[in-house]
Amino acid sequence: MAVAASQLFKWVLLVAASASLLARADLRYDFYNTSCPGVEKLVRDELALKFAADVTLPAGLLRLHFHDCFVRGCDASIMLKSHNGTAEQDADPNSTVRGYEAIEDIKAKVEAACPLVVSCADIIAMAARDAVNFSQGPLYQVETGRRDGNVSLKEEALQFLPPSDGNVTVLTEYFAVQNLTMKDMVVLSGAHTLGIAHCPSFSKRLYNYTGAGDQDPSLDAAYAKNLATVCTPENVASVQPLDPMSPKTFDQGYYQSVYNHQALLVSDAALLNDSLTGAYVQLMNNASSLDTFFADFAVAMINMGRAGVRTGTDGEIRATCAIYVD
Ligand code: HEM
Ligand SMILES: *[C@@H]1O[C@H](CO)[C@@H](O)[C@H](O)[C@H]1NC(C)=O
Ligand SMILES: *[C@@H]1O[C@H](CO)[C@@H](O)[C@H](O)[C@H]1NC(C)=O
Ligand SMILES: *[C@@H]1O[C@H](CO)[C@@H](O)[C@H](O)[C@H]1NC(C)=O
Ligand SMILES: *[C@@H]1O[C@H](CO)[C@@H](O)[C@H](O)[C@H]1NC(C)=O
Ligand SMILES: *[C@@H]1O[C@H](CO)[C@@H](O)[C@H](O)[C@H]1NC(C)=O
Ligand SMILES: *[C@@H]1O[C@H](CO)[C@@H](O)[C@H](O)[C@H]1NC(C)=O
Ligand SMILES: *[C@@H]1O[C@H](CO)[C@@H](O)[C@H](O)[C@H]1NC(C)=O
Ligand SMILES: *[C@@H]1O[C@H](CO)[C@@H](O)[C@H](O)[C@H]1NC(C)=O
Ligand SMILES: *[C@@H]1O[C@H](CO)[C@@H](O)[C@H](O)[C@H]1NC(C)=O
Ligand SMILES: CC(=O)N[C@H]1CO[C@H](CO)[C@@H](O)[C@@H]1O
């Protein structure tokens, strides 16, 4: 009797384990192989045209995926609109997110090929992957099978997107909420090898770091002087590359910039202050090959792409990514 009960218990555990495996397997490689064959190539080909027309778009789309995943999971809720200004898009950190129109255009092409099959969340994940590769970064296989949400709240964007002046402790906490590790954090920060930031995202470091009209002492002096000539109080709309070494190429230039105290954001410079993240920065600064960063980045992007996903019958597949939620 006791034996039977323990056998039954083992069996129940096994079923529970395989059930959770099945649930996880809802997100998988080639999810659309039979339901929308060729969708990944379709997305990639459309993006190739858009990237050729706008070399700054890859950075925008990479960031869009991050901002989508960190708020209510990777469910395309960042695409939703609000008439009264209460959606994720209306939150301050999203004010400079770019690429909404590109995603909507591609969704329209995908709808023409396979109506109501492919989620916007998956298109965003594919676009981020392609953005990295088109910028000479690694090519990784993206997991698909996400479904879209239809709730989008400004407060949640403010709550879950990490602050640009956060230290490593704070940043690590924001990533932990998404089941991402400190390693994921220092690796994904490497996305700042692409793109730009607007003056208000870093001006505090130049003019009022501790609130006493001072400059961040950890900024390289020549770099800070150069920034201050462009990011003046009269010119707050100006932008600066996040990786001054090579802003349009996906490489380890970001880590070299951080290492040399020429990182733009407090959150970038902060990576040097912690022994674990600092060691990674130093490793990448010295790396003679991009292989380790590329492999790490692919893993971390796949991890990020799993955050809070809806799969199976949860969520929906809409005809357009943007709809008004109020
Ligand atoms: C570690 C926490 C992070 C913080 C605090 C942060 C913060 C920021 C800020 C403040 C900007 C500049 C916005 C502006 O002024 O226009 C920015 C840009 C950017 N971020 Fe992050 N970010 C973080 C992580 C990430 C991650 C995980 C990714 C993607 C995997 C990412 C991708 C980008 C890209 C590509 C840009 C450039 C966008 C463009 O050129 O339009 N960031 N980030
Ligand atoms: C999906 O299709 C591609 C290309 O035809 C093939 O290489 C891949 O093995 C397929 N994957 C699955 C899971 O069927
Ligand atoms: C994309 O990834 C592949 C495979 O890693 C690589 O050979 C190629 O150079 C990358 N870049 C572009 C622009 O395709
Ligand atoms: C990080 O920032 C938080 C919030 O500002 C602060 O409480 C904490 O002491 C800081 N940690 C370090 C190591 O500086
Ligand atoms: C990192 O350390 C430098 C130098 O000690 C300091 O100026 C800076 O404020 C620190 N950054 C953060 C985010 O704590
Ligand atoms: C600098 O920061 C302090 C404290 O946040 C603030 O009171 C002061 O007005 C700021 N100065 C400027 C010039 O923005
Ligand atoms: C990186 O290179 C510098 C200078 O060549 C050297 O001093 C340092 O020890 C190296 N660090 C690592 C982690 O290899
Ligand atoms: C983190 O993992 C836990 C346990 O698997 C899961 O319940 C939770 O939904 C995950 N959170 C996110 C944001 O993915
Ligand atoms: C939101 O999505 C759920 C499915 O997740 C669906 O039942 C509901 O009707 C949708 N609501 C709106 C307003 O589209
Ligand atoms: C936004 O609009 C919706 C529907 O139009 C309404 O229910 C909601 O209360 C409004 N929210 C605010 C903050 O005005
Ligand atoms: C694209 C978009 O809707 N951006 C909004 C982000 O939030 C700011 C306010 O914080 C709005 O001004 C932008 O229009």
Q: What is the pLDDT of residues 237-283, one digit of tens each?
A: 999 999 999 999 999 999 999 999 999 999 999 999 999 999 999 99
Ligand nearest the Cα of residue 24 is: 8
Torsion sign across C-alpha atoms 183, 184, 190, 196: negative
Confidence of residue 7 (pLDDT cuts 50, 70, 90): very low
pLDDT attached to residue 21: 43
User: Which of 51, 56, 57, 63 is the best mutation target for the ligand 1 pocket, counting ligand atoms within 8 Å of the beta carbon and taking the most?
Assistant: 63
Ligand 5 centre and the CA of 129: distance in Å?
A: 32
Q: Which residues contact 154 (CB under 8 A, 6 or more apart)?
A: 82, 85, 86, 87, 88, 90, 91
**Element counts in the chain: helices (H) and strands (E):** 14, 2
Pair 132, 304: CB distance under 8 Å: no
Q: Scan for tokens 């996400």, then name that residue.
A: 146
Listed in order, strand segments (DSSP E) in the chain are: 196-198, 239-241
Better-predicted residue by pLDDT, 62 or 9: 62
Confidence of residue 93 (pLDDT cuts 50, 70, 90): confident
Q: Ligand 11 in contact with 220 (CB < 6 A)?
A: no
Separation of alpha carbons 223 and 251, rounded Å: 20
Ligand 8 centre and the CA of 178: distance in Å?
A: 7
- As beta bridge partners, residue 240 has 197
pLDDT attached to residue 286: 96
For the entire predicted model, the pTM comes to 0.91
* Whole-number percent of the chain with pLDDT over 70: 92
* Whole-number percent of the chain with pLDDT over 90: 90
What would the pLDDT profile of 28-55 be if each residue is shown by its tens digit?
A: 999 999 999 999 999 999 999 999 999 9
Mean pLDDT of the chain: 93
Minimal CA–CA distance to 56: which of 247, 231, 268? Answer: 247
What would the pLDDT profile of 105-128 be if each residue is shown by its tens digit?
A: 999 999 999 999 999 999 999 999
pLDDT attached to residue 289: 97
Q: How many residues does the chain have?
A: 326
pLDDT attached to residue 94: 72
The ligand 1 atom at the shortest distance from the C-alpha of residue 198 is 15
List of domains in the chain: 7-162 (1.10.520.10), 168-172+175-302 (1.10.420.10)
Q: Ligand 8 in contact with 308 (CB < 6 A)?
A: yes
Active site residue 67: yes
pLDDT attached to residue 41: 98
What would the pLDDT profile of 177-190 be if each residue is shown by its tens digit?
A: 999 999 999 999 99
What would the pLDDT profile of 125-167 be if each residue is shown by its tens digit?
A: 999 999 999 999 999 999 999 999 999 999 999 999 999 999 9
